[in-house]
Amino acid sequence: MKKIFLDGIFKNNPVIVQLVGLCSVLAITTTVTNALGMGAAVIFVLTGSNLVISLLRNFIPDKVRIPAYIVIIATFVTLIQMLMEAYLSSLYSSLGIFIPLIVVNCIILARAESFASKNGVLASIVDGLGNAIGYTFAVVIVATIRELFGSGTILGLRIIPEEFIIPIFTQAPFAFIILGIIIAVFNNISKKRKLKELKEEASRG
């Protein structure tokens, strides 16, 4: 269970490693508040849908499994959408169309098809949590950099004086540039870690 959970955050991070769900990474990472809100929504939907799909995996016919998964995912998306609209209206307005678009997010459908439909309930919950937290981790990093240098704030608190901000960081292309740098750093760290493990194995052998 620990491996399943940590793989979703690091080794198989859906954004940094698998490169899925990038539309929302591009659109909602202008502020850390937006990133945390989207992350919370993805955690709720991915964990809940994995749970239900795992429970029903032996009852859903193969021919209709994708439509069935979409209906289950859409149910959880509708719930979080209604909750946000009722209690977090400003965040709901800020995220806009990207909340209902969670229904067709590649991360959610991929975990439903490749993991929840083939594994038990507990493992599916852990997998959903790990991948959703991995997604949240990635978008919060991108949003922190964009908000800090583009607006000079973090969670609305002024960190950098306005005369030193770089507004272009809030533009969509910079989300890809920042994400690319993060992926490069992550890959470099992973390679160094693998080389270290290989050297340790060789020394023991």
**Residue ranges of E strands in 75-132:** none
Nearest to 131 by CA among 55, 54, 186, 50: 50
Check residue 196 and give its pLDDT: 85
- CA 177, 22, 186: angle at the middle one, nearest 5? 55
> How do residues 25-61 score in pLDDT, each as one tens digit?
888 898 999 999 999 999 999 999 999 999 999 999 9
Domain range for 64 is 2-204
> How do residues 147-172 score in pLDDT, each as one tens digit?
999 999 998 899 999 888 999 898 88
pLDDT at 205 > cutoff 80: no
Check residue 124 and give its pLDDT: 95
Q: What's the rounded Cα separation, in Å, for the pair 103 and 141?
A: 24
Classify residue 132 as exposed, middle or buried by CB count within 10 Å of its CB (0-12, 13-18, 19+): buried
How many structural domains compose the chain?
Answer: 1
pLDDT at 104 > cutoff 80: no
